[in-house]
Amino acid sequence: MESKRRFRLGQEAYVRYGQLLNDYIYWLRNYRNLAEDTVISYRRYITIFLNWINYYLHLKKLSSLSHDNTETFFLRYSDNHEFGSREQMQSALRVFLRFCFKQGYIKRDLSLAVPTLRTYKLARIPHIIAEEEIQKILDHIDKKTKVGRRDYAIIQLLTKYGVRSKQIRKLRLTDIDWRKNQIYFPSMKFGKDILQPLMADVGEALLDYLQNGRRKCSYPEVFLTVNGPCKPINSPCIIYSIITRRAHDAGVNLPKAGPHVLRHTFATRMLERGHSLKSVADMLGHRCLQTTFIYTKVDFQNLNNVALDWPEEES
């Protein structure tokens, strides 16, 4: 199965499908007007698909792709990936196959061949890690280096506010109000804006990074690349890599790789400390309480504490 972290077409695949992929990306940007994050995500998943049909099916032309080939790829991919990745591959693949049909690359609309995987509302349990393990990750970061200061500030924000990776990447210098001691995160996924007090340890981490780690440039975004040309962190893969690498270096085994485990942990800890579901929803930027319900399923220890004794049988 093609590795889910391989995002470039192989040499043979590029010769056969490179122009098709470029046309598809151009179409997403200029005709579908999709957000750049979505374009990057779709490109990543379709690259996996094109590499697969090239190396496993040896297709010389996309027109040879069949209903069975498409279904086989998706089912094999689903067997090796979690729900979120399966769902994104499903969406990206259907859009790509519709594009190929409309542009004449394939003879039939094979988007109908991508199976619909049955899911159940609130069926999944959020992945969380212990607070001690989060602290272990933070303590292991070398804050004397520029990249260390940046990564430390990013993980502090993810941990203390439970925000999304994209909210970290889109955070601007003007979103931090030092005088009022507040920090603002714009809404994501049709949720609500988040305005919270700037915690002391987070403020110190941000100030250290801005004064001693951030490269001097005119970009308004807070977090920038450390090496190469100076630019904002636009790819979600960079935040994913930061969390995964820092956890690995600290010897912490994440139940699920990437930054979302810190968001799940944040929400779960809030409920454990007695905050209402409405408060958790507000902190996470959820517009609908139903989105937050999943976090009510994880506190098994407290459920054990309130369990009733089994009544003895009367003779």
What does CATH list as the number for 131-299? 1.10.443.10
Segment 214-227, tens digit of pLDDT: 999 999 999 999 98
Segment 52-68, tens digit of pLDDT: 998 888 887 888 899 99
User: Could you give the CA distance from residue 289 to residue 123 in angstroms, rounded to a whole number?
Assistant: 16
pLDDT over 70 for what percent of the chain? 79
- Residue 191's pLDDT is 65
Residue 42 Cα distances to 25, 39, 53, 250, angstroms: 8, 5, 17, 32
Taking alpha carbons only, the member of 129, 122, 65 closest to residue 97 is 65
User: Could you give the CA distance from residue 51 to residue 102 in angstroms, rounded to a whole number?
Assistant: 22
* Secondary structure, 3-state, 66-97: CHHHHHHHHHHHHHCCCHHHHHHHHHHHHHHH
pLDDT over 90 for what percent of the chain? 42
User: Could you give the CA distance from residue 312 to residue 87 in angstroms, rounded to a whole number?
Assistant: 48
Through-space distance between the first and last CA atoms of the chain, rounded to whole angstroms:
62
User: What number is the average pLDDT over the span 1-26?
Assistant: 76
Active-site positions read: 164, 189, 260, 263, 286, 295
Q: Which of 28-42, 55-69, 96-110, 269-283 has the lowest mean pLDDT?
A: 269-283
Global model pTM greater than 0.85 = no
Domain ranges of the chain: 11-113, 131-299
Burial of 156 (0-12, 13-18, 19+ CB in 10 A): buried
User: What number is the average pLDDT over the span 281-288?
Assistant: 58
Residue 96 Cα distances to 88, 90, 108, 235, angstroms: 12, 10, 13, 21
Q: Which CATH architecture has domain 11-113?
A: Orthogonal Bundle (1.10)
User: Could you give the CA distance from residue 129 to residue 115 in angstroms, rounded to a whole number?
Assistant: 33
Main-chain dihedrals φ then ψ at residue 205, nearest 5 degrees: -65, -40
Place of tokens 């069949």: 66
List the alpha helices (DSSP H) in 162-306: 165-169, 200-212, 236-249, 260-272, 277-284, 300-305
Name residue 224's beta-bridge partners: 232
Provide the 8-state DSSP code for 181: T
Segment 246-259, tens digit of pLDDT: 999 999 888 766 78
Residue 302: CB atoms within 10 Å:
10
| Per-residue exposure over 195-229, b if at least 16 CB sit within 10 Å of its own CB, e if not | eeebeeebbebbebbeeebbeeeeeebbbbbbeee
